[in-house]
Amino acid sequence: MGNTEYEYSSSMNVESVPCVAVPPPQPFFKSLKYSLKETFFPDDPLRRFKNQPVSKRLVLGLQYFFPIFEWAPQYTLKFFKSDLIAGITIASLAIPQGISYAKLANLPPILGLYSSFIPPLIYAMMGSSRDLAVGTVAVGSLLMGSMLSSVVNPNQNPKLFLHLAFTATFFAGVLQASLGLFRLGFIVDFLSHATIVGFMGGAATVVCLQQLKSILGLEHFTHAADIVSVMRSVFTQTHEWRWESAVLGVCFIFFLLLARFFSKRQPKLFWVSAMAPLTSVVLGSLLVYFTHAEKHGVQVIGELKKGLNPTSITDLVFVSPYMSTAIKTGLVVGIIALAEGIAVGRSFAMFKNYHIDGNKEMIAIGTMNIVGSFTSCYLTTGPFSRSAVNYNAGCKTAASNIVMSIAVMVTLLCLTPLFYYTPLVVLSAIIVSAMLGLIDYEAAIHLWKIDKFDFVVCISAYIGVVFGSVEIGLVIAVALSLLRILLFIARPRTFILGNIPNSVIYRNVEQYPNANHVPGILILKIDAPIYFANASYLRERITRWVDEEEDRIKATGETSLQYVIMDMTAVGNIDTSGISMLEEVKKIADRRELQLVLVNPGSEVMKKLNKSTFQVDLGQKWFYLTVAEAVGACNYMLHACKPNSMKDEQEVWNNV
């Protein structure tokens, strides 16, 4: 990396260089309206209503909140055949999973079936995803059970625990619907991909460990979720291990994993993996029934209440001290469920090349949880496993959720007695096989290769969940994600630009080692908006760049530093603290007899610099549109007057 000698003309017409324009002033309320629109309505959802008659607007409004009225008129028999197959397929998965996940949340197993009946019907009317299959999820179930168990013991006071679960579901739905209605979906984006990978992996590990209770046939087990407590509980009761239950559990886990392996190897055999959980339930129930294994330590579900969902609106708890627990639980599980549901919906929408509205999805998921809390359901969203089966089964619309609901309804009305002999160990095997798919070690390895900080966030979330609790892991993950955002804001990238040989292009000298320093000129680029959070850092960093450049010049004996050019192309905005920082940098440059030059400040930046005194103090002649123009002007001045002579320089400008 060397220096470049620049040709200059003594007759250079500096006035011919275009000036950086100051945007015309805008009324305050117009600017505020624009800012609010960009913040809350970036997708412009009201665009479709423009220039439409009132009747058409009413129809469009109805279709916006109830997309079923948009796709139902075009529904065909071909679509119905595909949705029928997909709905029956996901029902075969939803029934055993629902029972299993309700058990994971320390709730009656029948609630898993209730939650696979009403919420999917609501989503089919209000959801915009064609592939999302609605139901309970393992992580949400674990999180709800864990948070509520810390306040109410589900064994000692099951009725209050159940009512708190309904109340937490209600508040989760209110949060989700509110985020959608008020266009606040960007809040969910604070859960980064690395955070979700680590959190999900840790939660899946904890869920798997807790299934040792049923797999080993233990009667008493810890309610704590951390690995130390679980291992202590397991190995202090070795004399109570039931080999019959353990053998059954290992066999069914092997069967379920084998079915998944075949389905992955042959995508056309997706139904093998989808039917495996229901097949396990049937085989396990028959085995227990004919061998009377329940008398030999194998625990069974027992009687499931027959009939459709009873109302639970009067069971919601709005009294102290339990209401605060329900609100806290609802907010946490609501955000997690929302993040998973929207991420899954977007993934499959990308595969099929269609668009889903994130805010509309929030309203749909929130509404189905609110209605669900009134009808004996607990937290539901769009789980990945069920949605993947729905996608692979060839679903065409959200009608597959309606088919699934009907299948679950038939089960509730007629088939619940058949689950009496279903062994709990089979449910645990179903949970373990599902959770192993959530431990995405390949994603963690990818994070390590691409971004070490993301990997740290991921592993921290995982360790926090496994060795602390689900809540601790979530707090650690979110805190690290926010810390990274703060680091991006408070410590923006700044770097030196150099000239690419035989061109007028200027690039980062670290990225392009062949880029040349320009004698007597230091070119810096700020790569972020300038706010109060980073103003002090930028002042200190710019000063250090100047110090380092002067030390380099002294060591090499080059032309003394005369100009500091700051490329502000990437500075999208600036606040008063940022303007004060620029004023301080100018004073520092003046004390060192250096000239500060700004390149291509954006419209918002120029507007604020113009309203302040900084533009006048610096002088309009020191604002340029491109780095090449600024370098050309500075080189002209360097060769047209004596070095370090600000007076001579001013005279040259006056003559020009």
243-258 pLDDT, tens per residue? 878 888 899 899 988 9
pLDDT for res 17? 57
Q: What is the pLDDT of residue 7?
A: 47
Query: Is 272 a residue whose pLDDT tops 90?
Result: no
Q: How large is the average pLDDT for residues 615-635?
A: 90
Mean pLDDT of 292-320: 85
Indicate the range of 38-42, 324-328, 422-426 predicted with least confidence: 38-42
Q: How far is CA 287 from CA 211, 280, 301, 344, 423, in A?
A: 20, 10, 14, 36, 9
Query: Which of 99-108, 340-349, 468-477 has maximum average pLDDT?
Result: 99-108
Determine the pLDDT at residue 10.
Answer: 42
Q: Looking at the predicted structure, is the pLDDT value of residue 323 above 70?
A: yes
The pLDDT score that the predictor gives to residue 163 is 95
Greater model confidence, 192 or 571 = 571
Indicate the pLDDT class of residue 2, thresholds 50, 70 and 90: low
Query: Lowest-confidence range among 308-322, 360-374, 380-394?
Result: 380-394
CA dist 439 → 208, 458, 462 (Å): 11, 12, 10
pLDDT in tens, 95-118: 888 888 898 888 998 999 999 999
CATH topology of domain 492-639: Transcription Regulator spoIIAA (3.30.750)
The mean predicted confidence, pLDDT, of the chain is 85
pLDDT at residue 325, rounded to an integer = 92
Determine the pLDDT at residue 379. 95
Report the pLDDT averaged over residues 472-476.
Answer: 82
Q: Contacts for 581-587 with beta carbons within 8 Å, 24 or more apart?
A: 581/530, 581/535, 581/536, 581/538, 581/539, 582/530, 582/609, 582/614, 583/614, 583/617, 584/539, 585/539, 585/542, 585/543, 586/614, 586/617, 586/618
Whether pLDDT at 643 is above 50: no
Q: d(Cα 388, Cα 119) in Å, to the nearest integer?
A: 18
pLDDT of residue 641: 61
Which sign, positive or negative, has the C-alpha torsion 121, 123, 129, 134?
Answer: negative
Ordered by start, the domain boundaries in the chain are 70-483, 492-639
Is residue 445 within 8 Å of residue 265, measured between CB atoms? no
CB atoms within 10 A of CB 452: 10
Which residues have CB under 8 Å from 346's CB, separation 6+? Answer: 356, 358
Query: Would you say residue 565 has pLDDT above 70?
Result: yes
Radius of gyration of the chain measured on its C-alpha atoms: 32
Say if residue 185's pLDDT is above 80. Answer: no
Q: Which range has highest mean pLDDT (16-30, 318-332, 463-477)?
A: 318-332
Cα separation, 148 vs 162, in Å, equals: 10
* 372 has pLDDT over 60: yes
Rounded Cα gap, residues 288 and 632, in angstroms: 88
Span 488-515, average pLDDT: 90
**pLDDT higher than threshold 80 for residue 540:** yes
Q: What is the pLDDT of residue 650?
A: 52
Question: Does position 11 have pLDDT exceeding 60, yes or no?
Answer: no
Least confident of 313-317, 416-420, 531-535: 416-420
The tens digit of pLDDT for each residue in 576-594 reads 999 999 999 999 999 999 9
pLDDT at 148 over 50: yes
Range with the poorest average pLDDT among 28-32, 162-166, 215-219:
28-32
Instruction: Return the structure tokens found at 404.
Output: 């699934």
In this predicted model, which residue has the larger pLDDT, 394 or 597? 597
Residues 6+ apart with CB under 8 A from 3: 516, 517, 518, 519, 558
Contact 404, 91 (CB under 8 A): yes
- d(Cα 428, Cα 99) in Å, to the nearest integer? 10
- Residue 75 CA to residue 68 CA, distance in Å, equals 10
Q: 353 or 66, which is more confident?
A: 66
Q: Phi then psi for 479, rounded to 5 degrees? A: -60, -45
Does the pLDDT at position 175 exceed 80? yes
225-232: long-range contacts at Cβ-Cβ below 8 A with a sequence spacing of 24 or more? 225/142, 225/146, 225/465, 225/469, 225/470, 226/466, 226/467, 226/468, 226/469, 227/466, 227/467, 228/467, 230/206
Q: What are phi and psi of 267, to 5 degrees?
A: -55, -30
